[in-house]
C-alpha cells in the first residue's frame, strides 16, 4: 500500500506570494491533518479534514487555509507569504476520527525569501 | 489545554548505552500517548503507542509505559544502535482522538 505523498517536496517563494501544497493520503484513509514544523516551535497543528469538512483548526492566522476533495486528497494554501512561514509542512493521514494512528508524509520544505 | 513536555536535547550516546527520553503530559480525560521517530529527511513514523493507563507500548527494542499517576510516558531502550540516531517526538491525542499534540522533539545521536 502506498504511503502518504506530498508535492512538491521543495519550494522557494518570495514574500507576498502565495503557495499551494498537496497531500495524497493512504488509500482508504479519509482524514488528513496538516502540521508546520520549525526548529523553534516544533510541530504545530494547522488543521484536520475529514470527508471534505474541516474538523479542527490550530492557532494560525487566516492566511493559512485548506481543503479536502472527494477523493480525500488535500491541499493547503498560504497567502501573502512571510519569512516566518519558512518551514517543513507535514501531512498525516488516518483512517478516520478517533483512529489514534497518523501516518506522515515526507513533507514539503518551503523557503520564503 | 492539552500539552506534552519532553526533555531537551540533543542527546549523544555511545552504541549499546541505555536510553531514556522523558515525556510528561497535561490532559483532560483519557488521552492516548505515542512516540514518533523522524529520521533525517523523512516524515514522522509511529514508533509505539499506549491507549490507556498502565499499558506498555513496545517496538524495535523501544518501550514506554503510560503512567497516569505521574502523567508520564518515558521512552527507553536498553542498548541503542547507530541506526537509532533520529529525532524522537512524544505526542498525545485527546480522548476523542480529535487532535494530536506533539512535544518539541529530542534529537538522539548514537556514536560507534
pLDDT at A100: 64
In chain B, what is the greatest distance between 2 CA atoms, to the nearest angstrom?
43
For residue A94, give the chain B residue with the closest CA. Answer: B97
CB contact, 8 Å: A108 with chain B? Answer: no
Interatomic CA distance for residues A22 and A64, integer angstroms: 14
pLDDT at B40: 86
Q: Which residue has the cell 527520553?
A: B21
Kindly report which listed range (A8-12, A26-30, A108-112, B40-44) carries the lowest average pLDDT score: B40-44
Inform me whether the pLDDT recorded for B98 exceeds 70.
no
Q: Evaluate whether B35 touches B47 at the Cβ level (below 8 Å).
A: yes
- Average model confidence (pLDDT) for chain B? 92
pLDDT at B94: 78
- Average model confidence (pLDDT) for chain A? 92
Q: How far is CA B109 from the centre of its chain?
A: 15
For residue B41, give the chain A residue with the closest CA. Answer: A106
Q: What percent of chain B has pLDDT over 90?
A: 73
Confidence class for position A49, pLDDT limits 50, 70, 90 = very high
C-alpha cell at B89: 517526538
For B5, B68, B78, B104, the CA distances from B83, given in Å and listed in that order, are 25, 31, 14, 21
User: Could A101 and B43 be called an inter-chain contact, meaning their C-beta atoms sit closer than 8 Å?
Assistant: no
CB contact, 8 Å: A106 with chain B? Answer: yes
DSSP codes joined into one string, A51-92: TTEEEEE-S--TTEEEEE-TTS-EEEEE-S--GGG-EEEEEE
Closest CA to B16 of B81, B61, B75: B81
- Summarised one tens digit per residue, pLDDT across range A26-35 is 999 999 999 9
Out of A98, A101, A107, whose CB is closest to B43? A107
pLDDT at B34: 94
The 8-class DSSP code of residue B83 comes to G
Which chain B residues touch A if contact means CB-CB below 8 Å?
A: 32, 36, 41-46, 49, 51, 89, 93, 96-105
Inform me whether the pLDDT recorded for B99 exceeds 80.
no
Q: Which residue has the cell 492516548?
A: B32
For A92, B23, B54, B90, B108, the CA distances from B105, given in Å and listed in that order, are 17, 10, 23, 7, 10
What mean pLDDT is predicted for residues A17-31? 96
What mean pLDDT is predicted for residues A32-59? 90
Q: Evaluate whether A110 touches A101 at the Cβ level (below 8 Å).
A: no
pLDDT at A98: 59
Inform me whether the pLDDT recorded for B7 exceeds 90.
no
Radius of gyration of chain A (CA): 13
What mean pLDDT is predicted for residues B80-107? 88
pLDDT at B8: 83
The dihedral through the CA atoms of B2, A45, B52, B75 has a sign that is negative
- Summarised one tens digit per residue, pLDDT across range A80-102 is 999 999 999 999 998 876 566 78
Please give, rounded to a whole number of angstroms, the shortest distance from the CA of A98 to a CA of chain B: 4
Kindly report which listed range (A68-72, B6-10, B58-62) carries the lowest average pLDDT score: B6-10
Decide which of A62 and B95 is more confident: A62
- Summarised one tens digit per residue, pLDDT across range B41-91 is 888 999 999 999 999 999 999 999 999 999 999 999 999 999 999 999 999
CB contact, 8 Å: A48 with chain B? Answer: yes
Give the burial class of B78: count Cβ atoms within 10 A of its Cβ; 0-12 exposed, 13-18 middle, 19 or more buried.
exposed
The dihedral through the CA atoms of B88, B19, B50, B1 has a sign that is negative
Amino acid at each position: 500500500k502506498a504511503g502518504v505523498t506530498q508535492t512538491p517536496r521543495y519550494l522557494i517563494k518570495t514574500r507576498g506570494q502565495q503557495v499551494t501544497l498537496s497531500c495524497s493520503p493512504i488509500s482508504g484513509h479519509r482524514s488528513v491533518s496538516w502540521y508546520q514544523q520549525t526548529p523553534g516551535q516544533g510541530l504545530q497543528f494547522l488543521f484536520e479534514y475529514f470527508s471534505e469538512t474541516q474538523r479542527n483548526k490550530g492557532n494560525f492566522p487566516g492566511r493559512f487555509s485548506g481543503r479536502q476533495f472527494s477523493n480525500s486528497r488535500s491541499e493547503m494554501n498560504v497567502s501573502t507569504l512571510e519569512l516566518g512561514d519558512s518551514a517543513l509542512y507535514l501531512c498525516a493521514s488516518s483512517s478516520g476520527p478517533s483512529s489514534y494512528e497518523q501516518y506522515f508524509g515526507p513533507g514539503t520544505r518551503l523557503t520564503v525569501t | 489545554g492539552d500539552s506534552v513536555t519532553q526533555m531537551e536535547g540533543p542527546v549523544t550516546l555511545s552504541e549499546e548505552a541505555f536510553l531514556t527520553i522523558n515525556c510528561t503530559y497535561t490532559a483532560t480525560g483519557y488521552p492516548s500517548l505515542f512516540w514518533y521517530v523522524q529520521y533525517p529527511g523523512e516524515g514522522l513514523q509511529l514508533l509505539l503507542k499506549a491507549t490507556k493507563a498502565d499499558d506498555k507500548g513496545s517496538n524495535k527494542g523501544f518501550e514506554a509505559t503510560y503512567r497516569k499517576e505521574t502523567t508520564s510516558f518515558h521512552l527507553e531502550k536498553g542498548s541503542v544502535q547507530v541506526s537509532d540516531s533520529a529525532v524522537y517526538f512524544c505526542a498525545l491525542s485527546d480522548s476523542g482522538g480529535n487532535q494530536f499534540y506533539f512535544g518539541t522533539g529530542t534529537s538522539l545521536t548514537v556514536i560507534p
